[in-house]
Amino acid sequence: MSPPPPTAALRTPLVAIAGNPNTGKTTLFNALTGARAKVGNYPGVTVERRSGTVTTKRGPIELVDIPGSYSIIARTGEEQIAFSALAGLGGPRPDAVVVCVDATHAARGAYLALQVQELGLRVVIALTLIDEAGAAAPDAKALGAELGCEVVPMVARHGVGIAELIAAIERALAAGPATAIQRWEPSPALSAALAPVRAALPDTWPGGDAIALWALQSLDTDDELRDIPESVRRVVAASALHGHAIDDEVIAARWRWLDAHVAPLVKRPPDRSRTLRVDRILLHRFAGFAIFVGIMVVVFMALFSWTAPAIDAIDDGFTWLRTTVHDALPDGFLGDFISDGVIAGVGSVLVFLPQILLLFLFIGLLEDCGYMARVAFLMDRVMKAMNLHGKAFVPMLSGYACAVPAILATRTMERQRDRLLTMLVVPLMTCSARLPIYTLIIGALFAGSGWTQSLLMVGMYGFSVATALAAAFILSRTIKPLKAKRLPFVIELPPYRLPSVRDVIRQMWDRTSMFLREAGTVILGCTIALWALLYFPRELPTGSPDYDAMIARAPTPELKQELGNEKAGALLRNSYGGRLGRAIEPAIAPLGFDWKIGVGIVGAFAAREVFISTMGVVYSVGADADEDNPRLRSAMTEEKRADGTPVYTPLVGLTLMIFFALACQCMSTLAVVKRETGGYKWPLFLFAYMTTLAWIVSFAVYQGGRLLGFS
């Protein structure tokens, strides 16, 4: 019997797909893998990892889509992912790399191919977008002869060149490992600087000048790179040459080679006249901004209004299911747990679906057609004053609908610092869940002309924008991880093209399903935990009447319902959540709040709008009370303190609205931030700083109002 083959021979070949952004890389990946693609995250970060298989004559080949990059130099977390995947740091090294080169910018795409070859990887060039390049596309055979690898011209969205590319990948794998190719000579000073860095590299890392050069160019005090050995950082920091000091030599040397060997293959520049004509309008200082505002209004209306029927349908469906299951099961813990804990928890996750799906659809369409880059360019002029990235505007606008999809939308930003800063201020935007609370308080405590009520509502929205921008300004100057200097804004404006609806829909569903798997499970667990907090110990306070006997003797259904509401209110007040509301009363009393408002605040942590139904139970109106319920409004306005003064006054109402405008009363938001940042540090910081801010500002408003003579 022959010995078993070595493990390496049994491993499925791994092929990485690399390339600059906007080169059709993801479209090519989708065309190769089809429905066999899997989407997840790289370990420890929220950068998407897309992998899949393609069947060839050799057997299955695993493909991995690497984040788009112009260079393997890495100073951000996303750029590090691309480099690590190519170099094999923390994972298997690719057996071959398909580098997507835009036929309209052949030299720029070939620059990345040169760096991949310097790593000692076998390369196949996918010459994409040849339909857009037309006569400007370089000759594939001539380009392949210069680069020393196969070049396959293709139009991935139409399937042109797919079979030829698969065949080229098979030949590259059959050729076996490649040797490093470097087409430029380092200076004596650079060679001397590379030697100690090369010696300091860990044994688990591949050696060679390419890795040492990467360290010299990438590591500095402002980088966001993870898991870099301290010994390597010390050697780089001590080097006379590192970072920008050697960029000129290395980058210029590569470009001299490209200018001499690749640039002559392009006989004419690509036709950009149509893109330039459109950009004269869309990037105009006034007209472009007006058009952008119009597009954002449509997006905002879609997220805020157009999804309302679907959200209501999901909410009504789960309400019906809860009621049906509760009625079918015997009274007691099991029925309450399944209906009010599990089913309500699943509903609290799925209710986000319409907004998340639509938001990712809009983002996908805007990115695919090339307009998202223009959005970032336009808004960067405004956002940079608050140290925010231009791309932060779309998540912040989406925050008006819901912070959950808005935080997920921060993935369009490349730099971790920019994503994190935006995540920390997005929850300050007035989301749709705050609207019912504002409606209840304004309607109950600010009775008068419609103008007064309308101005109050508009004022709360304006307050949220001002607070979010001020918070971004302050956080970016006081919190160390957010204080990294703002890099010069550099962005490629790709040509306009029709979006691939199939790719956009696939991306939309991939991101949504990732939310359901990862953040959704956390939200479900928090919902059940909060339900238990407001449910147990399921005992009436000492001295309570015998509600069950009273309900049994009640002559009318209306009286039975009223007594049932009173019993539910008594149970809630005696629950652990109710006791917590009483426990926090000394902390919220300076804001003008009593313990009943404290119970509402605890209940609102499930979702801000739950404050209304919780107050409905507290005041024995019923859990189905909404912001327009006259009995709830009446109960609130008639509530008195021990000294006979009203609990709810216009000043208390204004303070309560400000508290909800600033406090992070949303476990779903915290769950998504936890998922996006990979730990509990930042969601805890978010909760702490927003709650502290809410208390301080609310205290100032209430106590300041009293000093001015308001009640």
- Does residue 518 surpass a pLDDT of 80? no
Percent of the chain with pLDDT over 70: 94
pLDDT of residue 166: 94
Burial 360-379 (b: 16+ CB within 10 A, else e): bbbbbbbbbbbbbbbbbbbb
CA–CA separation, 177 and 94 (whole Å): 10
pLDDT-based confidence at 487, cuts 50/70/90?
A: low
Q: Which residues, 6+ apart, have CB-to-CB distance to 492 below 8 Å?
A: 20, 21, 22, 373
Choice between 421 and 394, residue whose per-residue pLDDT is larger: 421
Strand positions, DSSP E, 373-473:
none
- Does residue 141 surpass a pLDDT of 90? yes
- Does residue 609 surpass a pLDDT of 50? yes
Q: How far is CA 192 from the centre of its chain?
A: 43
* DSSP code per residue over 476-494: HHHSGGG-SPPPP-----P
CA–CA separation, 444 and 438 (whole Å): 10
Neighbour count for residue 633 (Cβ, 10 Å):
20
- Does residue 98 surpass a pLDDT of 60? yes
| Cα angle for residues 541, 607, 563 (degrees, 5° grid) | 35
| Cα angle for residues 351, 353, 358 (degrees, 5° grid) | 135
What average pLDDT does the segment 214-227 reach? 84
Q: Which residues, 6+ apart, have CB-to-CB distance to 179 below 8 Å?
A: 120
- Does residue 1 surpass a pLDDT of 80? no
Do 482 and 392 contact (CB within 8 A), yes or no?
no
- Does residue 685 surpass a pLDDT of 90? yes
- Does residue 679 surpass a pLDDT of 90? no
pLDDT of residue 682: 95
Provide the token pair at 604.
Answer: 């609102």
Q: Which of 181-185, 498-502, 705-709 has the lowest mean pLDDT?
A: 498-502
- Does residue 6 surpass a pLDDT of 70? no
CA–CA separation, 346 and 579 (whole Å): 27
Choice between 412 and 684, residue whose per-residue pLDDT is larger: 684
- Reduced to 3 states, what is the DSSP secondary structure of residue 151? strand
CA–CA separation, 421 and 437 (whole Å): 27
Of 399, 402, 378, nearest to 390 by C-alpha is: 378
Percent of the chain with pLDDT over 90: 30
Task: Judge if the upstream peptide bond of residue 269 is cis by omega within 30 degrees of 0.
Answer: no
Provide the token pair at 236.
Answer: 């780089």
* DSSP code per residue over 546-602: -HHHHHHH-SSHHHHHHHHHHHHHHHHHHSHHHHHHHHTHHHHGGGT--HHHHHHHH
pLDDT digits (tens, 9 = 90+) for 631-643: 888 888 888 887 8
| Cα angle for residues 362, 365, 366 (degrees, 5° grid) | 85
**Which amino acid is residue 360, in one-letter code?**
F
- Does residue 245 surpass a pLDDT of 70? no
Q: Which residues, 6+ apart, have CB-to-CB distance to 682 below 8 Å?
A: 420, 423, 424, 673, 674
- Does residue 416 surpass a pLDDT of 50? yes
Sign of CA dihedral 98, 101, 106, 111: negative
CA–CA separation, 582 and 585 (whole Å): 5
Do 644 and 637 contact (CB within 8 A), yes or no?
no
pLDDT of residue 9: 47
Neighbour count for residue 113 (Cβ, 10 Å):
26
pLDDT-based confidence at 3, cuts 50/70/90?
A: very low
The DSSP H or E segment spanning 153 is strand 150-153
Q: For residue 9, what are the CA distances in angstroms to 12, 123, 402, 426, 583?
A: 8, 21, 50, 50, 65
- Does residue 92 surpass a pLDDT of 70? yes
Choice between 488 and 600, residue whose per-residue pLDDT is larger: 600
Do 492 and 21 contact (CB within 8 A), yes or no?
yes
Report yes or no on whether pTM surpasses 0.85: no
Provide the token pair at 333.
Answer: 């813990």
pLDDT of residue 243: 55
Do 261 and 106 contact (CB within 8 A), yes or no?
no
- Reduced to 3 states, what is the DSSP secondary structure of residue 65? strand
CA–CA separation, 553 and 388 (whole Å): 64
Choice between 584 and 41, residue whose per-residue pLDDT is larger: 584
CA–CA separation, 641 and 353 (whole Å): 43
CA–CA separation, 128 and 24 (whole Å): 7
**Which amino acid is residue 41, in one-letter code?**
N
What average pLDDT does the segment 441-457 reach? 79
Q: Which of 608-612, 669-673, 677-681 has the lowest mean pLDDT?
A: 608-612
The highest-confidence range among 99-113, 213-227, 505-519, by mean pLDDT, is 99-113
pLDDT-based confidence at 45, cuts 50/70/90?
A: low
CA–CA separation, 263 and 385 (whole Å): 40
The DSSP H or E segment spanning 64 is strand 59-65
Choice between 579 and 247, residue whose per-residue pLDDT is larger: 579
Task: Judge if the upstream peptide bond of residue 537 is cis by omega within 30 degrees of 0.
Answer: yes
**Domains in the chain, ordered, with CATH?**
7-174 (3.40.50.300), 188-243 (no CATH)
Q: For residue 134, what are the CA distances in angstroms to 32, 131, 269, 498?
A: 24, 5, 10, 17
Provide the token pair at 323.
Answer: 């009621």
pLDDT-based confidence at 41, cuts 50/70/90?
A: low
pLDDT digits (tens, 9 = 90+) for 338-354: 988 888 878 877 877 88
CA–CA separation, 622 and 566 (whole Å): 8
pLDDT of residue 490: 66
pLDDT of residue 658: 96
- Does residue 155 surpass a pLDDT of 80? yes
- Reduced to 3 states, what is the DSSP secondary structure of residue 59? strand
Choice between 707 and 432, residue whose per-residue pLDDT is larger: 707
pLDDT of residue 630: 86
pLDDT of residue 382: 77
Q: For residue 701, what are the CA distances in angstroms to 426, 450, 460, 592?
A: 23, 24, 14, 10
Phi, psi of 595 (to 5 degrees): -70, -25
What average pLDDT does the segment 139-163 reach? 92
Q: Indicate the burial class of 668 (C-beta count within 10 angstroms; 0-12, 13-18, 19 or more).
A: buried
Q: State the chain's maximal CA–CA distance in angstroms.
A: 100
With residues binned 3-state (H G I as helix, E B as strand, rest as coil), the percentages for the chain, rounded to 5, are 65, 5, 30
**Which amino acid is residue 660, in one-letter code?**
F
- Does residue 8 surpass a pLDDT of 50? no
- Does residue 374 surpass a pLDDT of 50? yes
Provide the token pair at 126.
Answer: 């996918």
Provide the token pair at 228.
Answer: 């870099």
- Reduced to 3 states, what is the DSSP secondary structure of residue 50? strand
Mean pLDDT of all residues belonging to the chain: 85
pLDDT digits (tens, 9 = 90+) for 558-597: 898 888 888 888 888 888 988 998 899 999 999 999 988 9
pLDDT of residue 632: 86
Choice between 533 and 268, residue whose per-residue pLDDT is larger: 533
